[in-house]
Structure formats: C-alpha cells, structure tokens
Chain A
Amino acid sequence: MSDLSRQAGEATRSPLPLWFAMTAGTDTERRQATPSHALLVTGLALAALACLAWSVATGYAPFDLSAALGDVLAGRQTLPALVLVELRLPRALLGLLVGFSLGLSGAAMQGLLRNPLAEPGVIGVSAAAALGAVLVFYSGLAGSFALALPLGGIAGAALATLLLFGLVRRGAGTMTLILAGVAIGSAAGALTALALNLSPNPYAALEIVFWLMGSLADRSMVHVWLVLPPMLLGWGLILAGGRALDALTLGEDTAASLGFGLGRLRLQLILGTALAVGSAVAVTGAIGFVGLVVPHLLRPLVGHRPGRLLLVSGLGGAVLILLADIGLRLVRVQPELKLGVVTAIIGAPFLFSLIWRLRRSP
C-alpha cells in the first residue's frame, strides 16, 4: 500500500475525521466554533471565580463566611472579618493570580518554542526568583521587613531577565534562547544548593526548603498588591502576542512574511513571562507542572491554536492552583502539604501518561 493511501486509511480510521465527517456540510462550523470558544472561556472564567469563592470558604477553623462578609461590608473590625480579609482572601486571590500567570506563561512558552514540553521555567527566571528569595532568607534579611522575601525574589527574576537578554542578542536562534535559559536556571539552582549547604543552622535550611516547595499560606493583601502590577503587565504582553503565535505555527519565515517578526515576539513573550512568573515565584515559591500540564490538557479544546490557548490556559491554571490549594486544606494533613508538592504529585502521573501516549503513536 502506498504512503498516501495508508495515510488516508489512517485518517479515516481515527475518530476525529469521523466526527468531522458527521458535522461536515453544515457550513456553519466557523460560526459554531466562535461561540464554543466564547463558551469555553466563559465556562473556565466562571469555574475560576467559583474556585476563588470556594477557596475563601475553605480553611481549618470553623468560620461563618456570611457573617464575616457582613462585618467587612459594615466596616466592623471583628475576628471573622480579619480572618476573611487578612488570611482567606489574599490566599485565594494569590492562587488565582499565580495560577493564571503559570498557565498563561506555559502556553506562551510552548507556542514560542513550538514545543509541547516547554514550560515557564525554561527561561530560567523562576529559578533565579527562587534564588533571590533564598538569599534573603540566608542573609537574615527575611525577618527585617515583611516584603523582603518577595522583593528579593523579584530582584532575582529581574537580574536573570537582564542576563537572558544579554545572552540572547538580536538574531540569536531559539536554541540559544533555550540554552541561555537552562544555563541561568542551572546556575541559580547551584547557588540555591550552595546557600542550603552553607546554611548556618538546620532550621534555616529547613525553612528555605519549605519555602522552595511553594505555598500560598500566610500571605497578605500586601503581597497581592505587590505582584498585581507586574503580573498585569506581563499578562498584557503575552496576550497581545496571540496572533503572532498563531502565525508562528507555520514557521519563522512564514510568520515574518505575515508581518510577525520573531525577534519582537520573543522579546515580548520572554518579558511577559519574566514579569508574571518572576513575581509569582517571588511570593509563593516554586510551583511546578502547572505551566506544563494545563496548556497540554486544554490545547485540544481550542483546536491546537496557540493564540486561543493563552487565555484559556491562564484560566485553567488558576482553576488548577485554586483546586490544589483547596484540596490540601481539605485533607487536613499536618504539617500542611505544600502547594508545589501537590501540583507535582498531580503533574508527575500526567507526564507518565504523556510518555505512554507518545510510545503508542509511532
């Protein structure tokens, strides 16, 4: 059998074309596709908001949410009102912001590098943000003022971004970008390990290790206000690159012939990812797998279009982080499970299933 007819045979055997054949001829597929995308975005946004509310309602101590809400609205400084505003709300909001940042950046990096195994950490900025925070721990500055840790993380992320742009000059290829990201990430990881190695006492080391595992616990609204501006800027930069990512599906030259130069897109997406993920890691520590898994799971729902995947993946990331953070409080294990541990436990089997699927399809 010839290649052509074999491929045609495979095409007709796989379930997807069968479904397409059933819907073919209606001539309304594009008009249907647009509402279904709007429906997907709306559905995920509602799910994220629902998870946000659920997260606010979830906690260890018995808590009357409606009473607390009433107190807050009436301006009464009661204990439930304080718990809501100082503990529950910042935790839930940060979950939303960090999850959206990770999901969005993951989709952006996979689209930019045209590789489904890329994730936000590929540019090395997350590892550098973690290093920045660890150095604050190590130097003892962490106790001096409340925002020392996240500011250290943001400084680390900013320095790594500058270094990355220094290494990836105009005209450098994608391979150079990946290598530069891996190099920065490895160096930051090595220095983090060194800080642990030279840690003055085991408790300090343990504190650093726990922080590195990633958590949303005990964050305040100040953290939210600190990360909100860089995250919003980062989101804007990434979301504005949607069409260029679509064009990049056809390769760098074709994208350029359609009016989308790779150089500008790369700058835009790396800066956006550095802003969003750098500030995310600075306040929550390293939370892995979300940026890898979420774009993967949602890609088929947007017909594999990298531009449309961005917003959808951001919302999916928010849902996943919020659910994981709700879950780890519901299981009531003490000491509390770290969010990064939970997402890794969810993510690792996903990677195995990916390998399994890759092995089955030649």
Chain B
Amino acid sequence: MRIEATGIHIALGGRPVLAGVDLALVPGELVGLIGPNGAGKTTLLRILANLLMPDAGEVRYDGRSARALGGDALARGLSVLMQGGEVNWPLRVDHLVALGRLPHRRGLGGLSAADRDAVARALDAADAAHLRLRTAGHLSAGERMRVLFARALAVEAPMLFADEPVAALDPFHQLQIMELLQARARAGTGVLAVLHDLALAGRFCDRLVLLQDGRILADGPPEAVLTDDHLRRAYAVEVQRGQRDGVGYVLPWSRIGPREEG
C-alpha cells in the first residue's frame, strides 16, 4: 500500500500542530520520523493512520480516501503500534497477539488455521514465541514491547507504523526492535517509526523525515537529513560524529542556548 498525505494542517487545543505537511510512504522502506518534543510527530502518525482527522489536507491510501477504502480494508492494510504499550487486562500473550487478527476475522467463529499460523509467524518474528503462554502482566518492558510488536505484525499488513517503539528499552532491546523493523522493511513492508534516538534512526532507517514546529524541515536519506545545520535548527544541539563499518552516526553533544518548545 502506498500512503500519500498532502497539505496536512491541524490545530489541537487552539495551537497549530501541523502546518502544511506533505509526505509519501511506499512499501519496502523504513522511514524514521524524527523531531523535537512537540514537533507533531505522533499527531502526524495518527493522521496518516486515519486515527485523527486533519483540519485541512488529505491522506490517500493507494490513491483512495480512507472512506472510499473502507474501515476493514484499512485495518488490514495498515497496522499501528502505539506509544506507551497500553494493555488493560492481563491477557495471555498468544491471545493478545491474536488481537492482530481481528481485522481478518468474519462471523462468529474462533481463530482459523490461517490466523493461528499468522500469530505463530508474528511471535517468531518478534522473538516472543517462548512468551506465548505468559500473561501480559508478567512481562518485562522489553518482553512487553516485543509482544506488542508481534501483535502489530500479526495483522500482516503491507504498512506498519510504530510510535516510539524503542523509547523505554535498554540498548540490547533497542537494537533488537530496530533490527526487527529493518527486517520487516526488507521483507517488503512499508515501515514508519517515530524515533528520538538519532544514532539508531541514522543507522537503521532508509529515509528520515525531520519535523520541526509542524513542518517538514528535511526529508531524505539519513546523511542528508542529519546535517549540523538541520540538527541545530530542529533540536538546538551540536553533535559528535563517528563512523563504524562504513556507517556514520551522530551523538548529541551540547546544547546551543535555550530552545523554545512548540
């Protein structure tokens, strides 16, 4: 599925959050959505996923509006892993992951053989198969994120959105989730991930979109986006640069004066 947003404007609580955003997402690409707090990353992700209506502009899915496409088709075509990892009841992990099959299920029956296979594949891909009989309440933060990731994978949608999937994780699990996202993109899924860690974003993503004050400041390959000038303007920081195995990375190093948010 190809997702194209044009001229997105939205104000929340009287404050303009996005002011004229154009963005196109295609299959097989891992896109990192970066930008300072309050830049509008989550709002943009929610608009792209049809979870929030923009005040102006439109989002088209393979050239069609969400309404024309239909809610079920959209739910099967676009899977969303939200920030925070809300799980309200202590479900068993395999039951939780099976919630990702809801858009595919018809009638009153239980899970079909195809649904069960998809759940097993998702658990395997997220390295969570061994957790499947545990309950959600008994998972560490890393295990929980992998289980929720498996839930999002179980939809087997051609597009996958993840809002800050590595925010609360230790370095080991950050790398693990980033590798999983990259693997999905290599397998043909279009992936959009909101990220704060510039080093991870620059290393794993095929393309970065840098948001600042509701506008796209830069959109392109990591080396073209993570320039000193862009990072000064967006984050008001100076960075250290390094290189390993031919891959460059940036490390935020010092602040440049105070930055006014939003």
9 closest Cβ contacts across the A-B interface? A259-B75, A251-B86, A257-B80, A20-B133, A11-B138, A114-B88, A304-B89, A4-B140, A7-B140
Q: Given A4-B141, A253-B46, answer yes or no on A20-B134 (Cβ-Cβ < 8 Å).
A: yes
**Complex formed: what's the CA distance from A7 to B144 in Å?**
12
Q: Mark B148-186, 1 if CB is under 8 A from A, else 0.
A: 100100010000000000000010000000000000000
Cα distance, A195 to B148, chains bound together (Å): 53
In whole angstroms, what is the CA distance A253 to B151 when docked?
Answer: 14
Digit string of A234-274 for contact with B (CB within 8 Å is 1, else 0)?
Answer: 00000000010011111101101111110000000000000
Once the chains bind, are B133 and A24 in contact (CB under 8 Å)? yes
Q: Which of A30, A251, A306 has the most CB of B within 10 A?
A: A30
A216 → chain B closest CB, angstroms: 32
A11 touches B86 (CB 8 A): no
Contacting pair A258 B103 (CB below 8 A): yes
Nearest chain B CB to A310 CB, angstrom units: 13
With a cutoff of 8 Å between Cβ atoms, the chain A residues found around residue B74 in the complex are 259
Main secondary structure of the interface of A (DSSP, over half): helix
A137 and B239 alpha carbons, distance in the complex (Å): 78
Please tell me if the beta carbons of A257 and B72 are within 8 angstroms of each other in the complex: no
> At the interface, yes or no: A305 with Cβ under 8 Å from chain B?
yes
Chain A residues positioned under 8 Å from B141 (CB to CB) = 3-4
Tell me if B142 is interfacial: C-beta within 8 Å of chain A. Answer: yes
Interface residues on B, range: 35 or more
Q: Which residues of B contact A20 (CB under 8 A)?
A: 92, 133-134
Contacts A254-B80, A257-B80: A16 and B71 contacting too (C-beta < 8 A)? Answer: no
Residues in chain B within 8 A of chain A (CB atoms): 46, 49, 51, 71-72, 74-75, 78-80, 82, 84, 86-92, 94-96, 99-100, 102-103, 105, 110-111, 116, 133-135, 138-142, 148, 151, 155, 170
Jot down 7 A-B pairs with beta carbons below 8 A, ordered by A.
A246-B99, A249-B87, A249-B96, A259-B71, A259-B103, A303-B91, A306-B89
What residues of B have a CB within 8 angstroms of the CB of A353 in the complex? none
B49 surroundings in chain A (CB, below 8 A): 257
Q: Which residue of B lies closest to A242 (CB)?
A: B108
In whole angstroms, how far apart are the Cα atoms of A258 and B103 in the complex? 6
